[in-house]
Amino acid sequence: MPSRSTNWPVARSFPALLIAIAGLVCIAPAEARDPLWDALPWDQRLGVSWYEQRAAQGDLSAQLRAAQMHEEGIGTAADPAEAARWYAAAAEQGHPLALFKTAQAWQTGLLGAPDQPRAAALYRAAADAGVGAASFNLAVMAETGQGLRRDRTKAAELYEQAWRQGLAKAALNLGILQLSGGGDPLVAYGWLAAAARAEVPGAAAQRDRLGDLLGSEALSEAEALVLPPLGGG
């Protein structure tokens, strides 16, 4: 019986010994870690390669994050071409922002030789998905005939679409387009006034310049125009 009693303390202490050893194994790396580690954003802890590995497997969120990191130089050197490659991958999954960014990349030549028609098609997809900046860029292309057939009426429609999607500067372009294209000066004044109320740079000066040319009666009529609200859909 003595042999049994002498074995009990050993048996009882064995689990405690395992816990102590495990604790040493877990604690040691933390003690050796840079004390600023916990203050780092997760993307800098994981690194761009982690996101790229997941992005290569088709993870949409990882594709967007990898693109952003390359675009803004987060945790890696800024690389617009690499950013464009990941945005293009996300665009294949129909993400609105990625469609817009990929359109920009094709327009400027980040993904190869500049391809204006391809950029226009991607801007159209992004605009249809609600991206005001895409509607605006598409309007500029329609106004200037870059990548699209020149069509001032279509440009006006797209500028108004961008305004409805929340892009204030579209009102300034729309007002100027009305004036330069022989449109209604009262409508032009209305859009310039709307841009000025939205504090678009340069809009107030354009509005006042046109207002000086309109008679008081016409000016009152122009100020009474009801335009769609900014971001009104």
| Residue 183 pLDDT level (bands cut at 50, 70, 90) | confident
Q: Does the pLDDT value for residue 23 go beyond 80?
A: no
- The CA–CA distances, whole Å, from 207 to 101, 164, 224 equal 32, 20, 15
The predicted structure's pLDDT at residue 47: 83
Determine the angle formed by the axes of helices 80-91 and 48-56, rounding to 10 degrees.
Answer: 30
Q: Does the pLDDT value for residue 206 go beyond 50?
A: yes
- The CA–CA distances, whole Å, from 123 to 87, 129, 147, 155 equal 14, 10, 11, 13
Q: Does the pLDDT value for residue 174 go beyond 50?
A: yes
Q: Which two tokens stand for residue 202?
A: 């340069």
Least confident of 103-112, 137-146, 213-222: 213-222
Hunting for tokens 């604690």 — which residue is that?
27
Distance CA 233, CA 211 (A): 29
Distance CA 78, CA 62 (A): 17
DSSP letters for 112-144: SS--HHHHHHHHHHHHHTT-HHHHHHHHHHHHH
Q: What is the pTM of this model?
A: 0.79
Residues in contact with 160: Cβ distance below 8 Å, sequence separation at least 6, in sequence order: 170, 174, 228
Residues in contact with 77: Cβ distance below 8 Å, sequence separation at least 6, in sequence order: none
What is the percent of the chain with per-residue pLDDT over 70, rounded to a whole number?
Answer: 81
Residue 183 backbone dihedrals phi, psi, to 5 degrees: -80, -170
Least confident of 19-23, 184-188, 195-199: 19-23
| Mean local confidence (pLDDT), 136-164 | 96
Hunting for tokens 């088709």 — which residue is that?
58
The predicted structure's pLDDT at residue 85: 98
Contact 116, 145 (CB under 8 A): no
Higher pLDDT, 73 or 26: 73
Q: Which two tokens stand for residue 21?
A: 């050893």
| Residue 182 pLDDT level (bands cut at 50, 70, 90) | confident
Q: Does the pLDDT value for residue 208 go beyond 70?
A: yes
Determine the angle formed by the axes of helices 152-164 and 169-180, rounding to 10 degrees.
Answer: 160
Q: Does the pLDDT value for residue 6 go beyond 80?
A: no
Distance CA 231, CA 233 (A): 5
> In the chain, what's the furthest Cα-to-Cα distance?
117
Q: Which of 170, 129, 122 has its CA nearest to residue 147?
A: 122
